[in-house]
């Protein structure tokens, strides 16, 4: 195909895709059924992971719950059973340990079956200034928030590719799109998670595996305790998200095969402005929005999942 034809194709398809995107603003994609799908949730023992487990169970999905907190994980399974009569398969796993991820993944495949929806949700935050953060905590942040995604993909993606069916969900963060003062290690880990998920989505498309969908979730702070004390200068524009609301939006995005979910919607605007504005203007707006002081009163519970 020569230059003229390729260019014409790009222009025509770009127009069609933009029209499609505009229509989707008013007519969203139909929600797909997750009944019978085998959903694996990391960080399922508390917070948004627990809420997603309950939500997917209500929709008829089967559940595999991973968490380093054995008691919290069992409590989630008990809540799922009581609320929806669904038995969740519970596994204790330290997602920062590569060999443990592989070992527990093999156990899951033997005992339960092939995972069809993988949700990488486990996460930690130190909330310390970079120069005050011990090396061990920085390493742990990278291992859990980003490297763990590598190992779970390696473990469960081959079966999805073979069946050309599945869904990969990365619970990242708005801090994986825009740097935040006081969150250098966390931002680095979430930028890595976003970049990895985007690259893997392209790799799947390039190999013709269009049946394995991907969703990247980039929320602002969620009120789960993980970011306790974090604040927002303009709560109407950038509110601290309630966990139930965030959970519903995430599950809905998965069911609609939404590639990127930013919540609240103002994060889309912030991301767009970051890409086009001069750096000094971006810094000025960041100061106006309170981005320099988000973590000023942070207390946090650094080992809780997102």
- Summarised one tens digit per residue, pLDDT across range 49-94 is 999 999 999 999 999 999 999 999 999 999 999 999 999 999 999 9
Say which residue the tokens 């309170």 belong to.
290
Q: Tell me, what's the pLDDT at 132?
A: 92
Domain range annotation of the chain: 31-293
Contact in structure between 14 and 40 (CB atoms under 8 Å) = no
56-87 as b/e, with b when 16 or more CB fall inside 10 Å?
bbeeebbbbbbbbbeebbbbbbebbeeebebe
Instruction: Kindly report the number of other CB atoms within 10 A of residue 134's CB atom.
Output: 10
| SS3 at position 159 | helix
Check if 102 is active-site. Answer: no
Catalytic residue among 102, 186, 245, 288: 186
What is the pTM (predicted TM-score) of this model? 0.92
Separation of alpha carbons 225 and 229, rounded Å: 8
SS3 154: helix
CB 168, CB 212: distance < 8 Å: yes
Q: How confident is the model at residue 300 (pLDDT cuts 50, 70, 90)?
A: low
Say what the pLDDT of residue 302 is.
46
Q: Tell me which residue of 28, 39, 35, 43 sits closest to 166, measured CA to CA.
A: 39
CATH number of 31-293: 3.40.50.720
Distances (CA, A) of 123 to 10, 127, 141, 194, 208: 39, 13, 8, 14, 31
Is 50 exceeded by the pLDDT of residue 303?
no
Strands (E), the chain: 38-42, 62-67, 88-92, 117-120, 166-171, 212-219, 260-263
- Is residue 207 a contact partner of residue 218, using CB atoms and an 8 Å limit? no
């Amino acid at each position: 195909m020569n230059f003229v034809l390729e260019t014409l194709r790009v222009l025509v398809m770009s127009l069609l895709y933009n029209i499609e995107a505009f229509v989707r603003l008013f007519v969203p994609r139909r929600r797909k059924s997750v009944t019978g799908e085998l959903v694996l949730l990391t960080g399922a023992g508390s917070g948004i992971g627990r809420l997603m487990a309950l939500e997917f169970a209500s929709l008829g999905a089967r559940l595999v719950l991973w968490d380093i907190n054995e008691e919290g994980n069992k409590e989630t399974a008990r809540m799922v059973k009581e609320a929806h009569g669904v038995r969740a398969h519970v596994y204790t796993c330290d997602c920062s340990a590569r060999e443990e991820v592989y070992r527990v993944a093999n156990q899951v495949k033997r005992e339960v079956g092939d995972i069809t929806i993988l949700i990488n949700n486990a996460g930690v935050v130190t909330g310390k200034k970079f120069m005050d953060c011990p090396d061990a905590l920085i390493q742990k942040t990278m291992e859990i928030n980003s490297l763990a995604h590598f190992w779970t993909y390696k473990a469960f993606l081959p079966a999805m590719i073979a069946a050309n069916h599945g869904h990969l969900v990365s619970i990242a963060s708005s801090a994986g799109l825009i740097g935040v003062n006081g969150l250098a290690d966390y931002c680095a880990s979430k930028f890595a998670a976003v970049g990895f998920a985007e690259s893997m989505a392209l790799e799947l498309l390039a190999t013709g595996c269009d049946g394995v969908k991907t969703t990247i979730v980039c929320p602002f702070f969620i009120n789960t305790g993980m970011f306790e004390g974090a604040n927002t200068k303009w709560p109407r524009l950038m509110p601290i998200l309630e966990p139930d609301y965030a959970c519903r939006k995430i599950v809905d995005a998965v069911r609609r095969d939404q590639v990127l979910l930013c919540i609240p919607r103002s994060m889309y605007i912030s991301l767009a402005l970051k890409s086009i504005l001069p750096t000094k203007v971006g810094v000025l707006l960041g100061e106006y929005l309170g981005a320099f002081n988000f973590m000023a009163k942070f207390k946090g519970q650094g080992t809780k999942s997102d």
